[in-house]
Structure 1
Amino acid sequence: MTFTKGMSYWVTRMNKFNWGRGLKHLQARYFAPTFGMLFAILTLIAALSFPQNSAAQTYQFNTVSVEGNQRIDTNTILNYAGISRGQTVSAGQLNEAYQDILGSGLFESVEMVPRGSNLTIKVKEFPTINKIAFEGNRKLKDDDLSGFIESRSRQVFSPTKAERDAAIITEAYAQNGRASARVTPKIIKRSDNRVDLVFEVFEGGAIEVQRISFVGNRAYSDRRLRKVIGSKQAGLLRAFIARDSFVEDRLEFDKQVLTDFYNSRGYVDFRVTGTNAELAREQDTYFVTFNVQEGQQFRFGQITTVSEIKGVNADVYQDILKVRPGVVYSPTLIESSIARMERQGIKDGVDFLRVEPRISRNDRDLTLDVEFALVRGPRVFVERIDVEGNTTTLDRVVRRQFDVVEGDPFNPRQIREASDRIERLGYFSEVDVEAREGSRPDQIVVDVDVEEQTTGSVSFGASFSTNDGLGLSIGFAERNFLGRGQQLSARIAGSADTINYRINFVEPAFLGRDLEFGLSTSLFETSDRNSLFDTTTADLTPSIAFPISENGRLSLFYSFGYSDMDDYTGTSGILASEVAESGRFSSGIGYRYTYDTRRTGLNPNAGVLLSFGQEFNGLGGDQDYIETTARIVGQTLAFGEEVTLRATLEGGALSYFNDQESRAVDRYSQQIIRGFEPNGIGPIEGTEHLGGDYFAALKFEAEFPIGLPDEYGITGGAFYDIGSIWGIDTTNATSAVNSQDFELRHVIGVSVFWESPFGPLRMNFSRALEDQPGDEEQTFDLTVRSNF
């Protein structure tokens, strides 16, 4: 049976079939199982038996015209369409042309109208932006918001771009702790197809961090860790302090500083396993939790140095290391050791020296053995250093932060250190330092991209103390004067009885070297000082300072001064004779040496500051004397770094010669220990304190938490002070002078510290355990300073 005859057979059988009588029988036995197959066969037969006589529609246009365009040139629109006269195009290609024109972002609507051999493209252009405005914004100013958005006046308005700008502004508010902010772009139509673009801002309230907690920490308390991170809990004065607002991106920074904190204390396995910021049900506050895994604290084990460079003696480099076994491990100490070795390599003329720290872990005794390997690095040179983004700051200010110049061997560590120094300048809000391949594979170009920020300030301040009462001040400061990296400041401060003028100038890189030049001048006047006499002191001091060791710095200075006493109203013969003298000029030279390990010492929790100086006067002027002062301060953190312990020892001595004597305006009369008024101890004639030629003080103090929530910023303290002022010439005394010998005073007391939004406030409550007749005690002392 052929295919055609078979088809006729089935048709004949279907026509003869009695559908009414056999429907049930057919449905049950034949129709249900064979209907699907039969339908498929019929469809296939139809497809094979009847030819395709319909084809995809095509167009061919003799003319292509554009209507509705005013600003956009016709040829530009035709280029977007990509349809030429006489070109055969399909319906799909016509649709692609429509999409291309619409996708240009220049038109609000596009219509393709084919009429026979003619194609008309009808467009409606987007309007241009007449102006951009912001409404409802208070926390962020218009200038700040304008810098965030892409839309600009006199540009074509794009709804997509406007929505994107609204999202960017919303994100900016979120970064400022206002996650509920909403921004809606709206347009106001103007003539000539122009619109005003208005961003309506609903700022919402700042969502605060109600609580920051840590899970998994054992070595350090939540209170200690909260001091490390940038996020802060909401405190009592949340209306004045914005740092408690929740900023999601800040959590990544917090995780990094937590890791750095633990690593610097020997916890090399520390990691933050997760952070959780949970929004309260009322959606007005966050609860932030850091999940941490501390691990064990490691210390340095064996420390050795090996040399893989011929002619380089490893023992020389081993001897300059300051790290010793048993010290708590810290990556910072490794970096400082590498830097010290590389500097030694430069001194020895070893080019391309690299120091590789090879660390071996000893889990049994929790130590890390470090082997410093001296190897020869790749022969790569610095081709040039390019600085971009600095519109005010001179290039040389940035370049001098590098220890390398063009042509020097390339050292990645030195580049990282230079980047850190540039950031610490405080001149730039953004610093990006990258190294890339130069004109040859052995050449490196260092790109420095910076974004400048404001470095000048004008301040108005108020002060109050139990000694001087209420005071006011006005000041100006510029940390990057004329873009040269120089510092210039001027300040006027006064109270009811005092006035102080001061101007300071500092050039940190005098003559292009690590040599700091300073020039300071001041004028200080008091009236009715302790109801005894008025004083006038002035000085002009140029100085230079430079490092002489890793932690030591030496300052050399010349001092020209003037001092005078006037209007004495007391009964002391000594003071009367001193006031009767005319003003004295002084001229002398001096030096001061400081040694500070608070930042670069082996122990991150402890530091020592030592200062010693002398001033030799007699180079002209009216005074011949030597003044010697010394001060040493030691500080450490104890009890899980929650308690700060500090000890201070200081003293001074005035030694006059050539038959000269000191005067009250020159002698020591300041408050050297707590618990006594300024000029309240020392030699006394009658009831009038005279000051002394010598002073010494030893002070111990501790600061510790007192159980209040740390977001209040209130801590407690205790102190114990010992000190004395003594020594004076009694030639002009009209009565007995008491307390001129070395006699110690002992004071104990407690303190309350408050890190208020107006500045650090301290209240001292003290009691003298041992005093001398005529001493003026001070049982309460409060100081606070505020800048508006």
Structure 2
Amino acid sequence: MAKHERALAVAKDGGNTRLRQIVFAFFFLISAVLLALPNLASAQQYQFGSIGVEGNQRIESAAVISYAGLKTGQTVSAGQLNAAYQRVLASGLFETVELVPSGNRLVIKVQEYPTINLINFEGNARLKDDALASLIESQSRRVLNPTVAERDAARITEAYAQSGRLAARVTPRIIRRSDNRADLIFEIFEGGIVEIERIGFVGNQEYSDRRLRRVLGTKQAGLLRALFKQDTYVDDRIEFDKQVLRDFYLSRGFVDFRVTSVNAELSRERDSYFITFNIQEGQQFEFGKITATSEVAGADPDEYLAAIKLKPGVMYSPLQVENAIARMETKALKQGLDFVRVDPRITRDDANLALDVEFAIVKGPRIFVERIDIEGNTTTIDRVIRHQFRIVEGDPFNPREIRESAERIRALEFFETAEVNAREGSSPDQVVIDVDVVEKPTGSLSFGATYGTNDGFGLVVRFNERNFLGRGQTVGFSFSTASTITDYGFNFLEPAFLGRDLAAGFALRYQEYEPNEARFSNTIGEFQPTLAFPVSEYGEMALRYTLQNSEMDINNGEALAGSIIDTEAARGDIWKSSVGYTYSFDTRNRGLDPNRGVLLEFGQDFGGLGGDYTFIKTTARAIAETRVYHEEITLRAVLEGGALYSPDKDSRADDRFITTARNIRGFEPFGIGPREYQGGGVQDDALGGNYYAVARFEAEFPLGLPDELGIRGGLFYDIGSLWGLDVSSPNVIYEDFSLRHVVGFSLFWETAIGPLRFNFSKAIQKEKFDKEQNFDFTVSAQF
């Protein structure tokens, strides 16, 4: 029994051994085959005596073979054959590609993409077909490429996102036609507008949310904006707003200001955003000690310091520092000192919240401008852009001047983008200035409507081209009509006449005016060429010549014998030829959202160089405005006046001054001043006056209403008079100087159809026969 069991065990063990040997041999064989396969594949070679193409209809066979990059008689591996396949497929011309070796012949089988028969957009209403067609690469009668079509769909979707329709979806569809053609259809679901419901700020203490919202380019959706204009969420605009906020605070002395984050939360309904700017204002700094040092021979630091306008104790502003540096470097150029640089060295005085500024006058590197290269201006000619540079080839290189030139180019508003950069030229002491611009449309055609309490409803049509024929010239035409006035105008302006900082132009005007408040009407035709040029940093001088034909008529009704108006109208039409000038000094609108400024303006016209009328007409105006109480309240004061001198005492009512709501509120046009009056309704003719003087004081402030309403309030006080005539009569009243006083309240409403202003006024001192007007309303809308 034991022997039998041992025999069975030995037999079983022998069987297992043989089984293990068989399995081992099987795995060894498989491994050897797997190891040999790559060598076999890599060793496989092809050599084709001919290469043929099948399935192509439009694409030449030679072109397909060229894409493959294979030649007859050339030995190629399987890997090279696969690379050839990839090259043919990457051409984007074929839907399928197959390489079939057959002996010593290679057959390339292809199926071409169809030709685009037509391109349609379906479902679009907000963006028109023409606008969408300009965004896509695919074109009719070109080969259809699905990859390009997908890119086109993404571009269209992005265009909708930029207009606030974040839910928009675009799906490209292909409809096959005969003869290997296809229609490409973009199915569009536009979705709804995603508005900005609310913009808030966290961390602001010096300025209110309302004040900061006025700085941003992004706006909240207002009451009427929901009907006419949507304010939408755009990432790029938010990034720009962060920089605008920083510039706003820096210009007011908050040198440590920063935006820590911006949170944009989508509402539960996914139709609006709530945006919150988290900011840190820091402390407000003033200018401390202002000093200057010089490392340049011939540059006296005290003399340069006297040339700037910085004073200790004034709120710190980087813009004022930049202006001071520009004045110093300009002074160095006038003294013949080249390559002079002014470096501001700023020291913080945290204890006194002041910044001490030391202007170091140093010698910069001797680098010259080799050339100025301009690219991208397909319409605008080079000289328009070059005129914005104060330097030319061969001049010393000044980085500050290059930055300022870039700003002037952008200020033209001829280009979507304008980049100005400097790079090394042909040698280390030479630089090349590269100007890269992208053109944008500069013409506009607008239609508008106006309404005034006195003039009623009116229509306005304007055409304006700011870059006529790419020469930087402005050409404009306007037409406006209302119940009392019809006006046609044409103007032309060359801003760089003779290649200099000299603006030259002319204006043509034709006007028919029939005021409701007067018994006469007049028709005016006018031609006026002008020249304007800067005389200082803020000052400008304008010279003009005026040739005017004026015809005065009595309206329907009986003439009154001996009346002044009838006598003047009986002279018919007269010619006026005059030369004049206007000097203006304007510091308003300087820097980022300025909070103060003044305008001083003085002008005269001298008539009598030919024509039928000799006169001297003088006007003057002064405006000062500032913002107080954390810049929430705007205070404004205006003083203006005029005088007309006629040596022959032959002025007419259409030559003399009149008062309107634009210079003294609370009265109708022709409502105050000299009048020829006879009781019982016989006569009440407003005559105008040779002299006028007006002072207006106004405060504009928030009313505590929600910002999205766009409503602000105002209080005003006007005081003025209109007096003086060349010829009088016993029936003339109010010929002498007599002040009128008016107080009132205003409502300002920024709406989608234009700014509205409502004036409620009360004359607290007036004359008996003055024509009072207690309410005035104006609107001007463009569409």
Instruction: Give me the TM-score of the superposition, normalised by structure 1.
Output: 0.90
For residues 519 and 313 of structure 1, what CA distance do their matches in structure 2 show?
46
Q: Distance in 2 between matches of 1:743 and 1:397?
A: 53
Letter in 2 for 1:60: Q
How far did residue 770 of structure 1 move? 0.9
Aligned equivalent of 1:439, options 415, 420, 426: 426
| Deviation (angstroms), 1:462 | 2.6
Determine which of 756, 759, 768 is the counterpart of 2:763: 768
1:675 aligns with 2:655: no
Task: Report 1:282-301 matches (<5 A).
Answer: 282-301=269-288
Counterpart-to-counterpart distance in 2, 1:477 and 1:491:
8
Q: Contact 1:66/1:123 (CA < 8 Å) preserved in 2? A: yes
Q: Which moved more, 1:186-195 or 1:393-402?
A: 186-195
1:630 corresponds to: 620
Matching of residue 584 in structure 1 with residue 569 in structure 2: no
- 2:631 matched to 1:664? no
Do structure 1's residue 309 and structure 2's residue 296 form an aligned pair? yes
What is the aligned partner in structure 2 of residue 753 from structure 1?
A: 748
| Paired amino acid for 1:418 | S
User: Who is 2:347 aligned against?
Assistant: 360
**Conserved? CA contact 1:753–1:763, under 8 Å:** yes
Structure 1 residue runs of 5 or longer lacking an equivalent are: 1-10, 20-38
For 1:776, the aligned partner's letter is K
1:254 and 1:50 map into 2 onto residues whose CA distance is: 68
Please give the alpha-carbon distance, in whole angstroms, between the structure 2 residues aligned to 1:355 and 1:185: 59
Aligned residue among 576, 583, 586 for 1:593: 583
How much does 1:73 deviate? 4.7
CA distance in 1, matches of 2:230, 2:112: 47
The alignment partner of 1:198 has SS state of strand
Return 140-149 or 49-58, whichever deviates more.
Answer: 49-58
Q: Which residue of 1 aligns with 2:720?
A: 723
The equivalent of 1:742 in structure 2 is: 737
User: Is contact 1:323–1:602 with CA below 8 Å preserved after alignment?
Assistant: no
Are 1:52 and 2:47 counterparts?
A: no
Deviation for aligned residue 1:82: 6.0
**Aligned residues between the structures:** 756
Letter in 2 for 1:630: A
Contact preservation (8 Å) 1:61, 1:119: no
Q: How does 1:688-699 map to 2 (within 5 A)?
A: 688-699=685-696
Maintained 8 Å contact 2:247/2:592:
no
Query: How far apart are residue 194 of structure 1 and its match?
Result: 2.4
Q: Is the 8 A contact 2:517 2:669 kept in 1?
A: no
More off after superposition, 566-575 vs 170-179: 566-575
- Residue 172 of structure 1 aligns to a residue whose secondary structure is helix
1:6 match: none
In structure 2, the residue matched to 1:180 is 167
Give yes or no for contact 1:231–1:243 (8 Å, CA) kept in 2.
no
CA distance 1:435–1:138, change in 2 (3 Å): farther
2 CA distance for matches of 1:108 and 1:95? 17
Aligned match of 2:231? 244
Deviations 1:185-230 (A, max 9, x none): 1111122322222211111111111111111111111111111111
Identify the residue that residue 708 of structure 2 maps to in structure 1: 711
- 1:36 aligned residue: none
What residue is the counterpart of 1:346 in the other structure? 333
Per-residue deviation, residues 146-195 of structure 1 (Å, max 9, x unmatched): 33223333433222222122112211211111111111111111223222
Q: Distance in 2 between matches of 1:71 and 1:49?
A: 52
* Structure 1 position 639 matched with structure 2 position 633: no
Q: Percent identity?
A: 56
TM-score by length of 2: 0.90
Q: Deviations over 1:588-609 (max 9, x none)?
A: 3222110001134899310000
* Distance in 1 (alpha carbons) for counterparts of 2:477 and 2:471: 18
| 1:488 pairs with one of 475, 479, 483 | 475
In structure 2, how many angstroms separate the alpha carbons of the residues matched to 1:420 and 1:15? 97
Q: Which runs of structure 2 are paired with 1:181-580 in the superposition (5 Å)?
A: 181-527=168-514, 529-530=516-517, 532-567=519-554, 569=558, 571=560, 573-580=563-570
Please report how far the alpha carbon of residue 257 of structure 1 lies from its aligned counterpart in structure 2 after TM superposition: 0.8
**Partner of 1:783 in structure 2?**
778
User: For residues 139-178 of structure 1, what are the structure 2 equivalents within 5 Å?
Assistant: 139-178=126-165
State how far apart, in whole Å, the 2-side matches of 1:387 and 1:117 are: 57
Deviation of 1:74 after TM superposition, in Å, equals 4.6
| 8 Å CA contact 1:573, 1:734 repeated in 2 | no
- Give, in angstroms, the shift of residue 755 of structure 1: 1.4
Closer, same or farther: CA 376–41 of 1 in aligned 2, 3 Å: farther
Q: Does residue 612 of structure 1 match 2:607? A: no
Displacement of 1:15 in angstroms is 3.4
Q: Cα gap change, 1:621/1:51 in structure 2, threshold over 3 Å: closer, same or farther?
A: closer
- Structure 2 residue matching 1:450: 3-state secondary structure: strand
Question: What is the CA deviation profile of residues 324-369 of structure 1, one whole-angstrom value per residue up to 9, with x for unaligned ones?
Answer: 1111111111211121112112111111121111111111111111
Distance, in Å, in 1 between the alignment partners of 2:436 and 2:278 is: 36
SS of the equivalent of 1:511 reads helix
Distance between the aligned counterparts of 1:631 and 1:128, measured in 2? Answer: 69
Cα displacement (A) at 1:678: 0.8
Distance 1:265 1:637 in 2: 13
Instruction: Report deviation, 1:255.
Output: 0.8
Evaluate the alpha carbon distance shift between residue 65 and residue 642 of structure 1 in structure 2; reply closer, same or farther with a 3 A threshold: same
The 8 Å contact of residues 403 and 418 in structure 1, kept in 2 or not, is answered as yes
Structure 2: which 5+ runs fail to align?
Answer: 1-7, 678-683
Output the CA distance in 1 between the equivalents of 2:468 and 2:721. 43
Deviation at 1:635, TM superposition (A): 0.7
| Secondary structure in structure 2 of the residue aligned to 1:148 | coil
Q: Give distance in 1, aligned partners of 2:172 and 2:623.
A: 60
- Write out per-residue CA displacement over residues 235-262 of structure 1, whole angstroms, 9 at most, x where no aligned residue: 1223444351221221111111111111
Does the CA contact (< 8 Å) of 2:659 and 2:722 recur in 1?
no
Q: Distance in 1 between matches of 2:265 and 2:240?
A: 18
Greater shift in the superposed pair: 65-74 or 512-521: 65-74
Residue 83 of structure 1: CA displacement? 6.3
Deviation at residue 47 of structure 1 after TM alignment: 7.5
Q: Say whether the 8 Å CA contact 2:225–2:752 is kept in structure 1.
A: no
Instruction: Return the letter of the residue paired with 1:645.
Output: L
Bigger shift: 102-111 or 72-81?
A: 72-81
Contact 2:520 2:554 survives alignment (8 Å): yes
Offset from partner CA, 1:595-651 (integer Å, 9 cap, x none): 001134899310000101122223333333222211000111111112111110111
Aligned-residue offset at 1:393: 2.1
458-467 or 717-726, which moves further after superposition?
458-467
Counterpart AA for 2:579: I
- Supply the AA of the counterpart residue of 1:675: G
Give the alignment partner of residue 131 of structure 1, picking from 104, 115, 118: 118
Aligned partners of 2:531, 2:70: CA distance in 1, in Å?
A: 77
Structure 2 residue identity aligned to 1:596: D
Cα–Cα, structure 1 residues 528 and 654, in superposed 2: closer, same or farther, change >3 Å?
Answer: closer
Q: How far apart, CA to CA, are the structure 2 residues paired with 1:366 and 1:715? A: 35
Deviations 1:74-122 (A, max 9, x none): 5555565566677776666655554444344333223344566665443
1:450 CA drift (Å): 2.1
- Pairwise CA RMSD: 2.9
What residue is the counterpart of 1:701 in the other structure? Answer: 698
Q: Using a 3 Å threshold, how does the CA distance of structure 1 residues 606 and 95 change in structure 2: closer, same or farther? A: same
Q: Secondary structure at the match of 1:249?
A: helix
Amino acid in the other structure paired with 2:711: I
